[in-house]
Amino acid sequence: MSDTMTTITANVPDELSDKLKQFMEELGGEILVETTSSLKEVALAELEEGLSEARNIQEGKKARMSLAARVFHKLCQ
């Protein structure tokens, strides 16, 4: 078998991801990155929250915070 590898990006139904992982391992491949629908939803929600917060800061409805203050605030929630 060749030492070169091809990288494939694919959308797979969540319920079939375990079967695909097993099949890939049987072929000698590996899963490099796995993103589930729920992770995408969380990332989208956090992005929407950040954009809303940025609008509020621009409109003067919310005070600006440093990155350290944001992290501390997020950890305390």
Q: Among 12-21, 46-55, 61-70, where is mean pLDDT lowest?
A: 61-70
Query: Per residue in 38-58, pLDDT tens?
Result: 778 888 899 999 899 899 989
Is the per-residue pLDDT at 64 higher than 80?
A: yes
Q: How many domains does the chain have?
A: 1
Instruction: Evaluate whether residue 2 is within a structural domain.
Output: no
Instruction: Evaluate whether residue 1 is within a structural domain.
Output: no
Q: d(Cα 54, Cα 12) in Å, to the nearest integer?
A: 34
Domain boundaries, position 72: 14-76
- Tell me the whole-structure pTM to 2 decimals: 0.46
Instruction: Evaluate whether residue 8 is within a structural domain.
Output: no
CA dihedral (68, 73, 76, 77) in degrees, to 10, reads -140
Instruction: Evaluate whether residue 24 is within a structural domain.
Output: yes
For range 23-48, the mean pLDDT: 86
Instruction: Evaluate whether residue 65 is within a structural domain.
Output: yes
Instruction: Evaluate whether residue 9 is within a structural domain.
Output: no
